[in-house]
Amino acid sequence: MTIVVEQLSLGGSGPCVMVKDTIDVAGVATRASSCALENAAPAAAHAEVVEHLLAAGCRLTGKTGLHELAFGTTGINAYTGTATNPRFAGRIPGGSSSGSAAAVAAGLADFTLGTDTGGSVRIPACCCGVFGFKPSFGRVSRRGVMPAHSSLDCVGPFAASLPMLETAMCAIDPTWQPKAGPCQVRIGVINVLASAPVQQVVDGALAATGQPLGQVALPSFDAAYAAGMVVINRETFNACQGLLASGLVGADIAGRLAAAGETTDAALAEAETVRARFTEEVNAAFAQYEVLALPTMPDFPLRLEQATDTRAVLGMTAFVRPFNLSGHPALSIPLGSEQGLPVGLQLVGAHGTDEALLAAASLLLQQLYSNRT
d(CA 344, CA 191): 15
d(CA 188, CA 14): 37
User: Distances in Å between the alpha carbon of 305 and those of 91, 92, 96, 302, 310?
Assistant: 9, 9, 17, 8, 12
Active site residue 96: yes
Taking the chain, what is the end-to-end CA distance rounded to the nearest angstrom? 36
Nearby residues of 349 by Cβ (< 8 Å), 6 or more positions away:
136, 286, 290, 291, 292, 328, 329, 330, 331, 356, 357, 360
Q: How many CA atoms lie within 13 A of 319 on its CB side?
A: 30
Active site residue 120: yes
Name the CA dihedral angle for 271, 275, 278, 282, rounded to a multiple of 10 degrees: 160
* CA 89 from centroid of its chain's CA atoms: 21
Which entry of 33, 34, 96, 220 is annotated as an active-site residue?
A: 96
Which entry of 120, 136, 150, 332 is annotated as an active-site residue?
A: 120
Active site positions, annotated: 20, 96, 120
